[in-house]
């Protein structure tokens, strides 16, 4: 049996599909996204040994802030950065702070690779 994530890899981007076909492709993509919300690896977080930066919006309605705090507590090598916004904080509201943090972290991450 083929892995569903690889089974659709050969298909063109949904934007290039005819509208009638696109609605089914978009539905499949949405179903995969919903499925991702049900993956729970919290019991394995303590196995992470590399540096981890957790950036989370305090007002995120998609994933509660308490979950990010639990993740941070479970990963001994983690550092948590809190933003005041919601799940789109990098794009709205605190874009400049987010970009600055990414630029600060870039040399560190390149050294790890």
Q: For 44-72, how does the pLDDT look when each residue is reduced to its tens digit (9 = 90+)?
A: 999 998 889 999 988 888 788 999 999 99
Please determine, for residue 43, whether its predicted confidence score (pLDDT) is greater than 80: yes
H-type helices in 4-94, by residue range?
4-7, 19-36, 65-74
Domain coordinates of the chain in residue numbers? 46-112
- Pairing label, strands 78-83, 52-57: parallel
**Whose structure tokens read 């789109």?**
88
Distance CA 54, CA 71 (A): 8
Distance CA 7, CA 3 (A): 6
Q: pTM above 0.75?
A: no
């Amino acid at each position: 049996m083929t892995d569903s994530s690889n089974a659709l890899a050969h298909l063109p981007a949904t934007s290039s599909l005819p509208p009638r076909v696109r609605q089914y492709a978009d539905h499949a993509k949405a179903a995969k996204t919903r499925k991702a919300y049900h993956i729970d690896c919290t019991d394995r977080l303590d196995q992470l040994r590399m540096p981890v930066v957790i950036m989370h919006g305090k007002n995120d309605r998609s994933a509660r802030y308490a979950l990010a705090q639990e993740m941070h507590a479970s990963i001994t090598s983690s550092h948590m950065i809190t933003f005041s916004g919601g799940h789109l904080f990098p794009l709205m509201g605190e874009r400049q702070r987010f970009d600055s943090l990414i630029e600060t972290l870039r040399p560190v991450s390149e050294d790890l690779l």
